[in-house]
Amino acid sequence: MRVLHVASEVAPFAQTGGLADVVAGLPAAQADGHGITTAVLVPLYRHVPAKLTAAGHPLAERHPLRLEVGVHAFDAALRVTTIGRVRYGFLECAALFDRDGTLYGPTGTAEFTDNHVRFAALGKAAIVAGDRLVGGAPDVLHLHDWQAGAAAIFARQSQPRSTGARIVTTIHNLAYRGIFPKSVMSELGLPWPLFTPEQIEFYDQVSFLKAGLALADAVTTVSPSYAREILTPERGEALDGFLRWNVQRLVGITNGIDTAAWDPASDPALPAAFARGDLAGKAVCRAAVLREFNLTAPDDEPVIAVIARMTDQKGLDLVADIVPELARLRARLIVLGSGDPALEDRFRYLADVFRQHVALRIGFDHALSHRLYAGADLFAMPSRFEPCGLGQLYAMRYGTIPVVHAVGGLRDTVIDPGDDELAAGRGTGVRFSPATGLALARGLERAVKLFRDRDARAAIQRAAMARDSSWLAAAQQYVQLYRSLTA
């Protein structure tokens, strides 16, 4: 079986969020021991070649392409390298991807006005050049989020649905639907018969994500709970009715993480190693983090870490709301993130006024995030919605107790020791609801009590660190889905 993954980013070479981690981890896990050939197609952004070379994976092959996308035509090339057992194709097209700014816009809050053209070209490249990556016509096109949605349209144009590649579309975050004016139908040469509410039309506009969903043989989300939540008006982003009636098959499969890269026993970013059976090094990591952020805390006063984009979804405003509670809880808070300028300014103010209890780093630092996961005692993740979430998985891997809003993948992956008798001895964190500052404060208060009970803390840490968060189970479920579609 030949499987081609199409996405807009892949870790660690081009990344804005968890999507990139999935596109790096899932194909690699599928290629190991499942008897399939996997490849990944992503854009070649300006900074990617240098990162590939530094990582020891230079782009050795170059296959010229002529991409015709409606009224547009581009001289492009497929640049190829192999990492492990996975072939990576990077779509080289200077006119579309060799730009300053972020992957999707000139700044973190603005988008390029031609994103519909950029990612339609990525979709066309998947159809005309995908066979060069997997050694023949792909049996499965696995499309990730809206940026890959156009590939489904071009695939159905070029191949009969009955005999062409099976299409699997994964929703990583339904809030991002790739919506553009309907004029792009003519501009990109898309067939107007698809412009219906049952297919790609979205309130008299075009949604690339909806195209990927409507034309897929199966749709997956990144956790079972999120698969149920998006069928409701509250979380369906105006697509819940369409998902209930017009999607052939909807499956929730929980994400994994790279357990080799996220391993406290061998993590080069940490000042001391530790493991489930010997947590002595975690105390060293805690002391180092406190020094790094110029904070002090006795052993019985927990360090709470927050690592997230400063957006409404991630609920960092709720974290800001409970800062005055830190003195009562006798806790320290360290925040790493960036995003909404107003939230950034709010945390700057809080870090100044409550400097004995709050520390802040605006931006994202990969090595620092590793040190925080290892050095913190508690990890707060109050997302208003969370398709899967990776932060809580990293925290558990590092013996840091997660405190999460009971929603989506957070509900599926964190076991609260107070849920039921069966959870006794299996609890891995604290869940709270609803997504309010009061509920978060109560959740943190419960977590602080667990932290101060050494036996309870040790039991939760052992259970959390024993959780299998690898890609093995998810890869197996995806392969089973592929086989059911291609049988």
pLDDT the model gives residue 328: 95
pLDDT given at position 194: 96
- The residue length of the chain stands at 487
Q: What is the distance between the alpha carbons of residues 439 and 61, in angstroms, rounded to a whole number? A: 54
CA atoms within 13 A on the CB side of 21: 22
**pLDDT band at residue 87, thresholds of 50, 70 and 90?**
very high
pLDDT at 301 over 90: yes
Mean pLDDT of 38-61: 95
Q: What is the CB neighbour count within 10 angstroms for residue 108?
A: 14
pLDDT at 292 over 90: yes
Evaluate if residue 451 carries a pLDDT over 70. Answer: yes
The DSSP output letter for 468 is: -
What's the confidence (pLDDT) of residue 282? 98
What is the pLDDT averaged over residues 332-348? Answer: 96
The pLDDT tens digits for 200-246 are 999 999 999 999 999 999 999 999 999 999 999 999 999 999 999 99
pLDDT at 422 over 60: no
User: How much of the chain, in percent, has pLDDT values that exceed 90?
Assistant: 91
The DSSP result for 245-262, as a single string, is HH-S-EEE------TTTS
pLDDT of residue 423: 59
Structure tokens at 9: 């980013």
Instruction: Provide the percentage of residues in the chain whose pLDDT is more than 70.
Output: 98
**Helix (H), strand (E) counts: the chain:** 19, 18
pLDDT at residue 354 in the model: 97
Which residue, 8, 28, 3, is CA-closest to 134?
3
Please give the structure tokens belonging to residue 70.
């409606």
Residue 108, pLDDT score: 78
Contact 225, 254 (CB under 8 A): no
Alpha helix (H) residue ranges in 247-340: 280-292, 316-321, 326-329
pLDDT at 248: 85
Put simply, whether the predicted model's pTM sits higher than 0.85 gets the answer yes
336 pLDDT more than 60: yes
pLDDT category at 107 given cuts 50, 70, 90 is: confident
Q: How confident is the model at residue 162 (pLDDT cuts 50, 70, 90)?
A: low
Contacts of 365 (CB under 8 A, 6+ apart): 336
Structure tokens at 401: 């107790």
